[in-house]
Amino acid sequence: MGLTENIVVDSPIWVGDADLVWIDGQVLNINGEEAEIQTSDGKKVVANLSKLYPKDMDVPTAGGDDMTKLSYLHEPGVLHNLETRYEINEINLWVVLL
């Protein structure tokens, strides 16, 4: 379940995606339990608030070297951080394996 109390209009979020697993976006509108989202690839999608996760905007562009310092330790945030660190060859495997 997402952290719905942290999600309001204009919030940066993560939403499930059939191709990418998770994609980032911004909440455009909230109607009850449904949110309209503009994703970073230009699509507009509607998703249940309980399926959204806040995006940590304080993570450096090169990712965080210590995931315990991430504001949100949820699946999309952790996976994105791992992907970012892997792409620049700055992943510490011992941290992942612990």
Residues 67 and 50 in one domain: no
Per-residue pLDDT band at 2 (split at 50, 70, 90) = very low
Predicted confidence at residue 72, as pLDDT, reads 85
The CATH number covering residue 13 comes to 2.30.30.140
pLDDT band at 3 (very low <50, low <70, confident <90, very high): low
Of 32, 34, 29, give the one whose Cα is nearest residue 11: 29
* Chain segment 34-70, per-residue pLDDT in tens: 999 999 999 999 999 999 999 998 888 888 888 888 8
- Residues 25, 64, single domain; the answer is no
Q: Are 89 and 51 within one domain?
A: no
Sign of CA dihedral 37, 86, 60, 65: positive
Q: Could you tell me if 9 and 29 are in contact, meaning their C-beta atoms sit under 8 angstroms apart?
A: yes
Asked if 47 and 60 sit in the same domain, the reply is no
Task: Give the tens place of pLDDT for each residue, 8-18.
Answer: 999 999 999 99
Q: Are 23 and 77 in contact (CB under 8 A)?
A: no
* Residue 16, domain extent: 1-55
Give the global pTM.
Answer: 0.80
